[in-house]
């Protein structure tokens, strides 16, 4: 037991009282854990056709909680932004968030082609973002452009494309939930391309973003908690209404 506790304690000891970045890593980790427990423990109260949606919500926050534990410890030991762990988290959780659109629209006639499109676009968005931010940082603008195209393709699909049409056909609670999720993607996710611009600004034409004085780790941590837990609560609310 001592061997398990001491490494954790050592990492905590490295954090200063005014380490607000480390504080948000702790808060993000605990918030994601609590949300996962809430979603998993509520599964039995829903009809079978809605359990998968709530289960995916729990998986999203659970995966994020595990990665936030790694990111918290990495930050505590190195005081360096855990870019690698962030992208590992995102490459798992963001496609699952896109899956939620398919799941709530499935009863309205959504086909697997929509699922494949949403997952494919999200993977392209994240892989190109990672390459531009780490591997090919000298070509960050080009890779960021590809990532942005994939992001706006997702936005178009859910706001104006096939997903939007299915949501209108479904109407009622499904349409209302779909619109809220759309706003999460349009407004809540905008923090990620902003962070990309700040993180890759050195030597790029948009280098003025580096002078904004933003601590992107704090903003990322807050945005992750709001987006992922918020996504899940929208799905949970929809499942409650449909089961009732």
Domains and CATH numbers, the chain: 2-243 (1.20.1070.10)
| Average pLDDT estimate for 155-165 | 97
What average pLDDT does range 39-63 have in this prediction? 95
Mean pLDDT of 95-122: 95
Question: What is the Cα–Cα distance from 233 to 146, expressed in whole angstroms?
Answer: 31
pLDDT at 207: 77
Residues 6+ apart with CB under 8 A from 110: 102, 163, 166
Tell me the pLDDT band of 8, cut-offs 50, 70 and 90. very low
Residue of higher predicted confidence among 219 and 131? 131
pLDDT, the chain, mean: 90
Q: What is the band of 12 on the pLDDT scale with cuts at 50, 70, 90?
A: low
Cβ–Cβ < 8 Å for 242, 50: yes
Please check whether residue 71 is in contact with residue 23, taking contact to mean a CB–CB distance below 8 angstroms.
Answer: no
Res. 116: pLDDT tops 80: yes
Report the distance separating Cα 126 and Cα 131, nearest Å.
9
- Quick one: what percent of the chain has pLDDT higher than 90? 75
Residues 173, 193: Cα–Cα separation, whole Å = 30
Counting beta carbons within 10 angstroms of the beta carbon of residue 209, is it exposed (0 to 12), middle (13 to 18) or buried (19 or more)? middle
Q: Who has greater pLDDT, 183 or 9?
A: 183
**Nearest 5 degrees, angle CA 77-CA 81-CA 83?**
120
**102 vs 197: which has the higher pLDDT:** 102
- Whole-model pTM? 0.91
Burial label, 13 (beta-carbon count in 10 A; 0-12, 13-18, 19+): exposed
pLDDT value at residue 47: 87
């Amino acid at each position: 037991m001592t061997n398990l506790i001491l490494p954790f304690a050592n990492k905590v000891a490295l954090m200063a009282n005014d380490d607000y970045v480390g504080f948000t890593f702790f808060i993000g980790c605990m918030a994601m854990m609590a949300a996962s427990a809430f979603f998993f423990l509520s599964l039995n109260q829903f009809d079978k056709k809605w359990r998968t949606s709530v289960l995916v919500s729990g998986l999203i926050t659970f995966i994020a909680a595990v990665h936030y534990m790694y990111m918290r410890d990495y930050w505590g030991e190195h005081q360096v932004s855990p870019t690698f762990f962030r992208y590992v988290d995102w490459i798992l959780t963001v496609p699952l968030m896109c899956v939620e659109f398919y799941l709530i629209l499935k009863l309205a006639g959504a086909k697997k082609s929509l699922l494949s499109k949403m997952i494919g676009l999200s993977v392209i968005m994240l892989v190109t973002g990672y390459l531009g931010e780490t591997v090919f940082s000298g070509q960050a603008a080009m890779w960021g452009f590809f990532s942005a195209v994939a992001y706006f393709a997702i936005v178009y699909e859910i706001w104006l494309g096939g997903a939007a049409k299915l949501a209108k056909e479904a109407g009622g609670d499904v349409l209302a939930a779909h619109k809220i999720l759309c706003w999460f993607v349009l407004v809540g996710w905008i923090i990620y391309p902003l962070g990309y611009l700040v993180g890759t600004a050195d030597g790029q034409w948009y280098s003025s973003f580096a002078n904004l004085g933003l601590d992107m780790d704090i903003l990322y941590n807050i945005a992750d908690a709001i987006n992922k837990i918020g996504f899940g609560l929208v799905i949970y609310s929809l499942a409650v209404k449909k089961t009732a």
